[in-house]
């Protein structure tokens, strides 16, 4: 039986592209499942808030991008950004590198 090599390949900033060519698809840790949460606590008001629903909510009403950080503008935005850890250092780095390449980051 042959052995499978699991060598890490060094890549240019294109490493953020997966085999399917989608941004971020090459970073499994950033694509981890988020779970079945419907609500979370708004860190500002400490009240329960519904999460952002892309099927009915408008991104720009709830979030803004400020220096590669996603800022929650509403209770929905803050609760979602906190629960999903949208400003994890790896995610911020990815946004910065994509921006440097001229790519849309959100």
pLDDT, position 21: 53
* pLDDT(1) > 80: no
pTM above 0.85, yes or no: no
**CB of 80 closer than 8 Å to CB of 96:** no
Q: Which residue has the tokens 């629960």?
A: 83
pLDDT given at position 36? 77
DSSP 3-state assignment of 17? Answer: strand
What are the structural domain ranges in the chain?
A: 13-100
What is the percent of the chain with per-residue pLDDT over 70, rounded to a whole number? 67
How many angstroms separate the most distant Cα atoms in the chain? 59
pLDDT (0 to 100) of residue 3: 44
Long-range CB contacts for residues 7-12, cutoff 8 Å, separation at least 24: none
Nearest residue to 39 via CA among 51, 30, 55: 51
Q: List helix spans (H) across 3-74.
A: 59-62
Residues 6+ apart with CB under 8 A from 81: 63, 70, 71, 72, 87
The arithmetic mean of pLDDT across residues 4-27, rounded, is 47
Instruction: Between 91 and 27, name the one with better pLDDT.
Output: 91
CB 97 within 8 A of CB 12: no
């Amino acid at each position: 039986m042959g052995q499978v090599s699991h060598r890490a390949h060094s890549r240019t900033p294109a490493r953020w592209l997966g085999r399917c060519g989608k941004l971020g698809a090459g970073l499994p840790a950033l694509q981890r499942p988020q779970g079945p949460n419907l609500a979370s606590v708004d860190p500002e008001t400490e009240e329960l808030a519904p999460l952002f629903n892309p099927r009915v909510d408008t991104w720009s009403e709830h979030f803004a991008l400020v220096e590669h950080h996603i800022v929650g503008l509403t209770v929905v935005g803050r609760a979602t950004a906190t629960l999903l850890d949208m400003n994890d250092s790896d995610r911020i780095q990815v946004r910065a590198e994509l921006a440097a390449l001229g790519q849309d980051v959100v």
